Structure 1
Amino acid sequence: MSIKTDTVNTIVGQEIPRVLASREEALAAVAALCERIAARAEQTEKNRSVPEETIRELTDAGLFGIVTPRMGGGSELGFATLLEVQSEIASACASTGWVYGVLAGHTWLVALFSEKAQAEVFADPRALVASLIRFGGEAPERVEGGFRWRGGRGRFCSGIDHSQWVLLGGTVTEDDGTAEQWYLLVHRSEVEIVDDWHAVGLKGTGSKSIVIKDAFIPEHRAVRFADLGAGRAPGAELHMGGLYRLAYDSVWPLSLAGAVIGAARGALEEFTAATSRRLESLPPLLQASNGPALARLAKAAAQIDAMAGLLRSDALQSDNASEGTVYTPLDKARRSRNLAFAAQQLRASVNDLYESAGGSGVYTSAAIQRWWRDVNAAASHVAFTWDLASVAYGRQATGIGALSGAGTGPAVRS
């Protein structure tokens, strides 16, 4: 499988997305878009979905292809670059940053499916993929040649408005009575969107519910979670990069974390600008009395820089993993701990800034309140739950291991 990508070529009348050569090129590409993304932030929130214009610009710039394998038409630059790019986007608009990370990250997952499934998705170099890792309702059934799914339903399908495919996780009862968790790749035409995304934060992510009434999923569009977790998924050997042979739960959901970093930075920039405007008109003695606000600013800046560094370190470790790298249960627990810790520290930094903003921050016209809502919504994702991640790490660190029945599959929603 090989898909030629060149910005001067077209497929069915559409320009093929740019292929980015380096991290620096990716950061330059996103910097060129951030002003326009920020200008659409209110529209994004009002429409409860990222504007198609923004999706088109991100696609044209090649930014959705950062962790797409080269043979699938992507740049294969890795998760550290994805984290940085997502942070930049989210610092302009948190909802856009969230959707970007979700859709861009899923191309890495598609690269773990069979060659035939990858060819179907990557045949359209502009195709985007949404996901619900735990899809509820009726369970899929094994049938001849694949799976039949009737009556499936799930919430929080971020970016589904812009997707041509969706990855859905479900438990299948095999003929011998055993239960096996599978990840199934379903075409968007098989999915019905339920327009129910009315949220307090990340309003523009369009994280709507979806329903499958009756869909057939062929065998080649299915992969066992057990194989994903062991780093032996069908598509792993098709790609040169070791990143595609890492265990699923040692990498995911790095592609979500940049949204929290970027939104926290957006809040800090807004607070800094507002504080500067307020203090510059005051006499020195009154400026001095505002020391606590400046101290909060400094603390938040330090927290954001530290957490960004922590997560970038983990992302680089994945990107640079040598062939055959296997993460121990303690390694995986540490990485989950870092994700949750970072998200909650970022949430705390923004809550501190919002508290210091005082009464002016409660107006819906105040920019700081949107950042506050968005960061708190993002940090509520189950992957960032400190109560879960901290206990799981503690059990591994002390040697008592995971709880019986735990770790049977990903507990992550998108």
Structure 2
Amino acid sequence: MQQPTSQTAEDLTHEDFIQQAHSLVPLLREKARESEMARRPLDEVMDAVRATDLFSMMVPKRYGGHEADMDTFFEVSLILSRADASMGWLIGFYIEHAFWFCHFPQSVQDEIFGDADHILAPAALNPGGGMAREVEGGYRLSGQWAWGTGILHATWVMAGCLMKKEDGSINPMFFLLPREDVEAVDTWHIAGMCGTGSWDFKIDDKFVPEGRARPFLDLVSLSTGIMDRYDAPIYKTPMMVLLTFAAAAPCLGAAQAALAAYQDQIKAKMKTAGLELDHAKLALVAEAALTLEAAELMMRDVLRDVMEQRNKATIETRSKWAARISHAVFLCRDAVAKIGTSAGASGNFLDNPIQRSVRDINAASCHVVFNREARYCDFGQLLFDQPIKNFLV
């Protein structure tokens, strides 16, 4: 098997990261079922990813990172997700969460990145199950957070919740805690994306210094000073847009993997049983291929637009981006559903890659950034020249 590769050069190119992603594909594909059954990322796979430079893609160069841009991030996520959507999701979230840490004060970044060129951290928002309160010098945080993607190999944790001020007002905030302040809770019994190991995590009255807290809306609006600290284009990208692409790439990758597996299944039956291609299967494969081509073109069109406009994009533009990406994701899900139905009885075996793609995309497409009704409603508002009120774009 080809071994994953790593380079130590200060300036890695787009092609370097693509090559590193491809070097991981055989291992991810081989271990996908084992990881799914274990309901967590395997240590062997995580060690292989650490041996590359992928985790430091969005880390600032001053900390040994590479400040890679959106197009590189999307390509890497897509390559990995075709091999295993769960690992593509996990690795992608680890990569872009480093971008989130760049919103915090320089002194905090110095502490967090330290001598390491990357950090591994989940970022979970829990407005209902967690609460922070102001105390002298910072905050005290308690609660249990769901969807802790990355908690099992984390070095730091980002926890979002409501913070109640002394005047009674409540604001959504993000807090940074070292991994040892957090307890992982195994709640991850789920139909799809099992290999992400997105366990809950629990925090019991832990102190968070003032510098390790940031208002959520400041992160969303890029009003944290990040663009003053760093010149690279990636740090001018709206946070929610980056998050949406991190979640969308695994959906497209899973769908493309399902189509490839279905074509392989048909070819195998033709070879072993001497079957001929029937018109129904030809039509379905063609429809699925065209649907996924349309979804990918839509995602890439938005990607180009994002890289041109960055922080200058209006909320109306960002709402249209969100609607288009969501629509593309549901095109992927619809195509996979048809492939899964046409795969026959063998397509129901849990170790069939097509079945895993069905499970994974059904789970991944439920992420809040793809809320179909909300995204379509926002876009509908635009079509009638109505103001957009949703800030999660």
- TM-score normalized with structure 1 length: 0.88
Pick closer, same or farther for the CA change 1:166–1:396 going to 2, 3 Å.
farther
* 1:187 has 2:178 as partner: yes
Alignment of 1:356-375 (within 5 A): 356-375=342-361
Instruction: Please report how far the alpha carbon of residue 69 of structure 1 lies from its aligned counterpart in structure 2 after TM superposition.
Output: 2.2
Pick closer, same or farther for the CA change 1:138–1:157 going to 2, 3 Å.
closer
Between 1:222-231 and 1:210-219, the stretch displaced more is 222-231
Pick closer, same or farther for the CA change 1:201–1:19 going to 2, 3 Å.
farther
Unmatched 5+ stretches in structure 2: 1-5
**Whole-angstrom distance in 2 between the partners of 1:119 and 1:137:** 30
Contact 1:90 1:258 in 2 (8 A): yes
Instruction: Please report how far the alpha carbon of residue 281 of structure 1 lies from its aligned counterpart in structure 2 after TM superposition.
Output: 5.1
* 1:227 has 2:218 as partner: yes
* 1:311 has 2:323 as partner: no
Q: Which residue, 169, 172, 175 being the options, matches 2:166? A: 175
Computed over aligned residues only, the root mean square deviation of the Cα atoms, in angstroms, reads 2.1
2:367 partner amino acid: H
Instruction: Please report how far the alpha carbon of residue 340 of structure 1 lies from its aligned counterpart in structure 2 after TM superposition.
Output: 1.0
CA deviation vs aligned residue, 1:28-47 (integer Å, no higher than 9, x gap): 11111100111111111121
**Whole-angstrom distance in 1 between the partners of 2:100 and 2:246:** 11
2:379 partner amino acid: Y
Which residue pairs with 1:4 in the alignment? none
Which residue pairs with 1:96 in the alignment? 87
Which residue pairs with 1:133 in the alignment? 125
Contact 1:17 1:126 in 2 (8 A): no
1:345 partner amino acid: L
Count residues with an aligned counterpart: 387
Contact 1:111 1:118 in 2 (8 A): yes
Alignment of 1:286-297 (within 5 A): 287-288=276-277, 290-297=278-285
Instruction: Please report how far the alpha carbon of residue 57 of structure 1 lies from its aligned counterpart in structure 2 after TM superposition.
Output: 1.6
CA deviation vs aligned residue, 1:355-402 (integer Å, no higher than 9, x gap): 111222112343321111111111121211212211122113322224
Which residue pairs with 1:24 in the alignment? 15
Contact 2:59 2:117 in 1 (8 A): no
Q: Which secondary structure does the structure 2 equivalent of 1:185 belong to?
A: strand
Contact 2:126 2:146 in 1 (8 A): no
Instruction: Please report how far the alpha carbon of residue 17 of structure 1 lies from its aligned counterpart in structure 2 after TM superposition.
Output: 6.6
CA deviation vs aligned residue, 1:205-228 (integer Å, no higher than 9, x gap): 101111111111111111122222
Instruction: Please report how far the alpha carbon of residue 326 of structure 1 lies from its aligned counterpart in structure 2 after TM superposition.
Output: 2.1
Unmatched 5+ stretches in structure 1: 1-14
Instruction: Please report how far the alpha carbon of residue 240 of structure 1 lies from its aligned counterpart in structure 2 after TM superposition.
Output: 0.9
* 1:70 has 2:37 as partner: no
1:147 partner amino acid: Y
Alignment of 1:126-275 (within 5 A): 126-150=118-142, 152-275=143-266
Q: Which residue, 266, 276, 287 being the options, matches 1:299? A: 287
Pick closer, same or farther for the CA change 1:318–1:72 going to 2, 3 Å.
farther
- TM-score normalized with structure 2 length: 0.92
Instruction: Please report how far the alpha carbon of residue 96 of structure 1 lies from its aligned counterpart in structure 2 after TM superposition.
Output: 0.8
**Whole-angstrom distance in 2 between the partners of 1:65 and 1:311:** 24
Q: Which secondary structure does the structure 1 equivalent of 2:312 belong to?
A: coil
Q: Which residue, 269, 288, 302 being the options, matches 1:278? A: 269
Contact 1:83 1:312 in 2 (8 A): no
Q: Which residue, 371, 383, 387 being the options, matches 1:397? A: 383
Residue identity (%) = 26
